[in-house]
C-alpha cells in the first residue's frame, strides 16, 4: 500500500492534501507533531472519520526526526486521549514502555506499529530488533539511514531474513534509501510512505505520490517484475526513469527502472546478480569503474574505454555504450556534411570519452580541456586529440581565430542542479557561430548555455542526447523498439 504522510500545519490543510491525493494512495499518516499547538483533541479524534481510507496516528519526537518538542508525559497523555478516534494504526516507538497506552488503543481496534529510528546509520541488530517487536504481536517498523550501497543491500535482505513476519515496514532514508521506498515489496514491507507533490517531504528520501503510483507503479511490482535501473553518485537527479518506465507501461512490459545511488560498483554487482537485476544504465563516476566486472563488451566500449549500459545475459554481464550514438544523433547530419571540422570538449570523464571518439571517428579535430589537465592529456593521447589548459581554451576564439571551434561540447557536471551557478569556462567569448552542445539537462539552461544563447549560438540541449541514448538502452534491455507517442 502507498501511505501519504500528511505534512501540513493545520487539519484543514491536511484534509485538503488528502483529498487531492486520495486516488493515488491507499492510506494516510496523520503527523500531529507537525500541526500547530492550538489544534483541539476533539478535532484530531474526528479526523479519521473525514477520510475514506485508513489513517495512521503518529506523533514523532525530535530525536526520531519529528517536531514534537514538549515533554514525553505530555505526548503520551495526548496519544491516550486520541485513542477513542477511529485510527486504523498508531505508531509508537519501540522504547516506549508497553502497558496502558497499548491496551487503550487495542480496545478500540487500533493496531500498534512499533517503530525505531536511526537517523545516522543502519544498526547491526536491525533484524533482531524487528523480530523482537513482532514477537510482542505488534507490527515492526524500522526507519534507518544507509550511508553506502552496502547498507542499502542489507535492507533488501529483510525479505528473506524476516520472511516469517507477515506484516512489517522497513525503510531506508535519504538518497541511498530511495530504492527501498520504490521497491518496498522487495524488502517485505506491506506499505511505503510518500509525500504530496509540491509539499515538504515527510522524511528524508520521500518520493511523491505521483512518482510512486504513476511513474514507478510501486504498488504493482511483484516477484515476476523485471528490475532495471541506473547507478551513479549522484543519481537522484536522473531523468532516465521518466524515459524507461513510461516505455514499459505503453508496451505492457512488467518491469520497473529504479535509481540506485552507488558508491562502490564492487558492492553493486554481487547485489545485482542476487537481486535479479536484468540491466542498468551507468552514469558518473562509474562509466569506467564497471569495466573489470563485464564478461563481454561491445566494439564501442572496447574503443572508447567507457560503458554506460550493462545488460545481464545468461552467464555474464555485457557492456554497451549508447552514449556514442546518443551524442551523434542531434548533429549527425552536420558531421556527415563536413560542417564541423574543429571541436572543443570540456571535460575528460566517461561521457567525454564517448564524445571525443565519436568526433574523431568523423575526422573532426578535437581540443580537450579539463580542470585536471593530466586527465585531458591522457584522453588526448588515447584519441589523437590535443589537450589544452582552461586558459588556452578560453583564448581559442580571441587569439587564434583560425582555430576557433565549430562545436563546443560541455560534458562536466558544472551547472548541474544543485551547482547551478557554476560555469566551466567563464572566460570564453562566444562568436555566435558555434554550435554549443551541453550534456547537462537539469536545469535545461545553465549559466554556460545562457551565455551561448545570448551570443546567438545554435544550441543542442542535453536532454536530446539523454533521450536518444535512452531509447537505445531500452531496446538493449527489452529487445523492443521504444514506443512512439
- DSSP characters over 241-287: HHHHHHHHHHHT--EEEEEEE-S-HHHHHHHHHHHTEEEEEE-TT-T
The DSSP secondary-structure symbol of 484 reads: P
Indicate which residue of 63, 287, 341, 442 is catalytic.
Answer: 287
288 burial (CB, 10 Å; 0-12 / 13-18 / 19+) is middle
Pairing verdict, β 309-312 and 317-320: antiparallel
3-state secondary structure (DSSP) of residue 189: coil
Interacting residues of 484 by C-beta distance below 8 A, sequence separation 6+: none
Long-range pairs, 323-326, Cβ under 8 A, ≥24: 323/350, 323/351, 323/354, 323/355, 323/465, 323/469, 324/300, 324/354, 324/357, 324/358, 325/468, 325/469, 325/472, 326/465, 326/466, 326/467, 326/468, 326/469, 326/470, 326/472
Residue 99 main-chain phi, psi, to 5 deg: 160, -125
Q: What residues does 346 pair with on adjacent strands?
A: 369, 410
What is the Cα–Cα distance from 212 to 21, expressed in whole angstroms? 12
Number of Cβ within 10 Å of residue 284's Cβ equals: 19
Known catalytic membership, residue 20: no
**What's the full length of the chain, in residues?**
485
What amino acid positions are annotated as catalytic residues?
287
Amino acid at each position: 500500500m502507498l501511505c501519504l504522510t500528511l505534512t501540513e500545519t493545520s487539519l484543514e490543510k491536511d484534509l485538503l492534501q488528502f483529498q487531492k491525493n486520495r486516488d493515488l494512495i491507499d492510506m494516510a499518516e496523520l503527523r500531529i507533531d507537525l500541526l500547530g499547538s492550538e489544534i483541539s483533541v476533539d478535532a484530531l479524534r474526528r479526523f479519521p472519520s473525514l477520510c475514506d481510507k485508513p489513517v495512521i496516528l503518529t506523533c514523532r519526537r525530535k530525536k526520531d526526526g519529528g517536531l514534537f518538542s514538549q515533554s514525553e508525559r505530555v505526548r503520551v497523555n495526548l496519544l491516550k486521549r486520541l485513542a477513542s478516534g477511529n485510527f486504523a494504526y498508531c505508531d509508537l516507538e519501540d522504547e516506549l514502555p508497553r502497558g496502558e497506552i497499548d491496551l487503550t488503543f487495542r480496545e478500540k481496534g487500533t493496531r500498534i506499529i512499533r517503530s525505531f529510528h536511526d537517523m545516522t546509520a543502519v544498526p547491526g541488530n536491525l533484524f533482531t530488533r524487528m523480530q523482537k517487536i513482532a514477537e510482542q504481536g505488534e507490527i515492526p517498523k524500522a526507519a534507518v539511514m544507509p550511508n553506502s550501497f552496502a547498507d542499502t543491500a542489507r535492507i533488501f535482505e529483510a525479505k528473506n531474513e524476516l520472511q516469517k513476519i507477515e506484516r512489517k515496514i522497513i525503510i531506508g532514508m535519504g538518497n541511498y534509501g530511495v530504492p527501498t521506498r520504490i521497491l518496498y515489496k522487495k524488502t517485505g514491507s506491506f506499505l511505503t510512505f510518500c509525500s504530496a507533490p509540491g509539499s515538504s517531504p515527510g522524511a528524508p528520501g520521500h518520493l511523491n505520490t505521483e512518482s510512486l503510483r504513476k511513474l514507478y507503479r510501486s504498488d504493482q511490482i511483484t516477484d515476476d517484475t523485471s528490475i532495471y535501473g541506473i547507478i551513479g553518485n549522484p543519481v537522484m537527479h536522473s531523468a532516465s526513469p521518466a524515459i524507461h518506465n513510461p516505455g514499459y507501461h505503453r508496451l505492457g512490459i512488467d518491469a520497473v527502472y529504479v535509481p540506485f545511488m552507488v558508491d562502490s560498483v564492487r558492492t553493486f554487482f554481487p547485489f545485482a546478480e542476487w537481486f535479479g537485476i536484468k540491466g542498468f544504465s551507468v552514469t558518473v563516476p562509474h562509466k569506467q569503474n564497471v569495466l573489470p566486472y563485464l564478461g563481454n563488451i561491445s566494439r564501442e566500449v572496447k574503443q572508447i574505454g567507457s560503458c554506460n549500459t550493462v545488460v545481464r545475459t545468461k552467464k555474464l554481464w555485457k557492456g554497451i555504450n549508447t552514449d556514442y550514438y546518443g551524442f551523434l544523433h542531434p548533429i549527425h547530419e552536420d558531421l556527415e556534411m563536413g560542417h564541423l571540422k574543429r571541436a572543443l570538449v570540456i571535460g575528460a570523464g566517461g561521457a567525454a570519452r564517448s564524445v571525443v571518439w565519436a568526433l574523431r571517428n568523423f575526422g573532426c579535430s578535437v581540443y580537450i580541456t579539463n580542470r585536471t589537465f593530466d586527465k585531458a592529456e591522457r584522453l588526448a593521447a588515447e584519441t589523437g586529440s590535443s589537450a589544452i589548459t582552461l586558459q588556452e581554451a578560453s583564448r581559442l576564439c580571441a587569439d587564434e581565430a583560425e582555430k576557433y571551434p565549430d562545436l563546443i561540447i560541455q560534458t562536466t557536471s558544472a551547472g548541474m542542479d544543485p551547482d547551478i551557478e557554476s560555469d566551466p569556462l567563464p572566460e570564453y567569448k562566444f562568436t555566435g557561430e558555434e554550435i554549443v552542445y551541453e550534456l547537462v539537462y537539469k536545469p535545461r539552461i545553465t549559466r554556460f548555455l545562457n551565455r551561448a544563447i545570448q551570443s546567438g549560438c545554435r544550441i543542442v540541449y542535453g536532454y536530446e542526447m539523454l533521450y536518444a541514448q535512452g531509447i537505445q538502452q531500452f531496446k538493449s534491455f527489452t529487445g523492443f523498439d521504444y514506443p512512439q507517442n
